[in-house]
Structure formats: structure tokens, C-alpha cells
Amino acid sequence: MKKFNAAMSLLILIFCSFHCDSITDTEYDNQFNICGVLRADAYSILMVQEVRVDQTYKMDERSEPWVDDAFVLLSYRTQLDTLYYYDGGLYHDYCDFEPLDTVSIMAIKDGLDTLFGSTIIPGPISIIHPNPHNTVSFSDSIILKICDNGAMYYGYGEKIEGWDRLEAYYLPEENDTLIIIPLQGFGDYLGVGYYHFQFVVFDSNYYNYFIDNDSIVSAGVTGGIGLFGSSYMTEIYFELVE
């Protein structure tokens, strides 16, 4: 059981085209290069899901602006959803993912190998304490239950009146069951008032790609390079008093 270090911050890059496009100097045969982190949360049923689709080019080959003619398909449970090209390499559609759904992706384009990928939606995140809209004190803590398939947690707390915030991330260890977030630091730094806390858990594909090994070229995909991961979000509002 670990505690959040509220002084640490994490820059969350959900669709990081820089990372996806600047992976290695090695020449590749032309293949898909994708970057997508699917989302589910505790309060929404249908959410817009986006995947950035591009391709690799040889070092001496001129690149095109975007891949806008790929066929991109998501499959989960008994559903098939075609993602439609929007802009800037993004393909999107509304989907209703739930925690522990296995979601597969397939991308097809003439001249490229077919790309396949898979992710398991993490979650749900259970907030054991406090209850929503309760009043809590500086000496209290937020307690979260570790969820299934969660490799990395990110959270922030902000004071609604001023929108100042503190951020933190947490990497669970094998035997961890709870995450405890002391509120003393938030109270000392931001003061009393009404607070909004949001927590996001990411799957192992996201963790492996961005955190564990920055030199890898793919996580969750075969037949191409890039990232296909997923996340789950929940939130809580409460009043903090001394």
C-alpha cells in the first residue's frame, strides 16, 4: 500500500504525434504507425474514441501530410465499429467501452501490411472514501481501491474557486490493494474550500510505451508500430475543511 506523492506531476500525452513520429532512425518498410488511447469512465456511456493513423517512410522518401484513406475497425464484445477519418490523421467514432472489455483494432490500406492491435480496458476505479459531496478535514485521506489491469494511475485535485491544482502519478506494486492520498498537503497548499478530484488509470500498453521503456517502437500492435492502449476515469467532489 503506497501513498501518492502530491509534489510529483505527469505530463499526460494521450495522442502524442511527436513520440509516434520520432521513434527511431532505423529505416522501415512502409507500415502503419498509429497512436491511440481508448477511454472509458464512470459516468459516460458513449464516448468519442480517437486513433491517430499515419505510416512510416524511408529516410529518403517524402512523407505525405496524413493517411486519410485507411479502413480502421474496432471490435469488442459483439460489436464492430468503423472509425471515420476526421482531420489531422485522426479517425473517430462513438463507442461504449466498459472496464475489462478486450478491444481489438484492425487498420487496412493498399500498399501496407494490415495492422492489428489489442488492449484490455482497465478499471473500474473504486473510491472507498470519502463519499461524494461529503465534508472532510485536512487530516483525512482519499482511499482508492486498486483495479484490474491498471498499470499506472494519474490524478489531480483542484480547488474549484481558484482552479489551482496539484497532480500526481502512482505505479502500483504487485501486492498493493489500496492507494491512500493524504489531504493535508492539498489543504496546506490550496486551503479550505470545495474540491474536484479526477483519477485516471492506464493499461500496460500505455505504461510500457511511455514510461517503462522509451526506446520501444510499439505496444499493443502487430504488423506496424505505435501505441494502442486504454484508460478509465472517475472523479469526486467534496468540501475540505480544517
pTM, entire model: 0.85
Spatial distance between the Cα atoms of 185 and 181, rounded to a whole number of angstroms = 9
Q: How many residues does the chain have?
A: 242
Q: Mapped to the 3 state alphabet, what secondary structure does 30-63 carry?
A: CCEEEEEEEEEECCCCCEEEEEEEEECCCCCCCC
> Using omega within 30 degrees of 0 as the cis cutoff, is the peptide bond preceding 124 cis?
yes
Q: Which helix (H) or strand (E) holds 218?
A: strand 218-219
Task: Name the residue ranges covered by the structural domains of the chain.
Answer: 2-10+124-203+233-241, 29-122+213-230
In the chain, which residues have pLDDT < 50? 1-18, 20-27
Same fold, 2-10+124-203+233-241 and 29-122+213-230: yes
Is domain 29-122+213-230 classified as CATH 2.60.40?
yes
CATH number of 2-10+124-203+233-241: 2.60.40
What pLDDT score does 224 carry? 95
Spatial distance between the Cα atoms of 4 and 201, rounded to a whole number of angstroms = 14
Torsion of CA 25, 28, 31, 34, to 10 degrees: -20
What pLDDT score does 126 carry? 92
Judge residue 100's burial from the number of C-beta atoms within 10 Å of its C-beta, 0-12 exposed, 13-18 middle, 19 or more buried: middle
Residue-wise pLDDT tens digits, 210-232: 887 766 789 999 999 999 999 99
What pLDDT score does 173 carry? 87
Q: How far is CA 75 from CA 91, 95, 101, 107, 204, in A?
A: 15, 10, 10, 12, 19
What pLDDT score does 17 carry? 43
What pLDDT score does 161 carry? 82
Residue 212 backbone dihedrals phi, psi, to 5 degrees: -70, -45
Residue-wise pLDDT tens digits, 169-189: 899 888 899 999 999 988 888
What letter does residue 23 receive in the DSSP assignment?
Answer: S
What pLDDT score does 185 carry? 86
* C-beta of residue 220 within 8 angstroms of C-beta of residue 118: yes
Judge residue 195's burial from the number of C-beta atoms within 10 Å of its C-beta, 0-12 exposed, 13-18 middle, 19 or more buried: buried
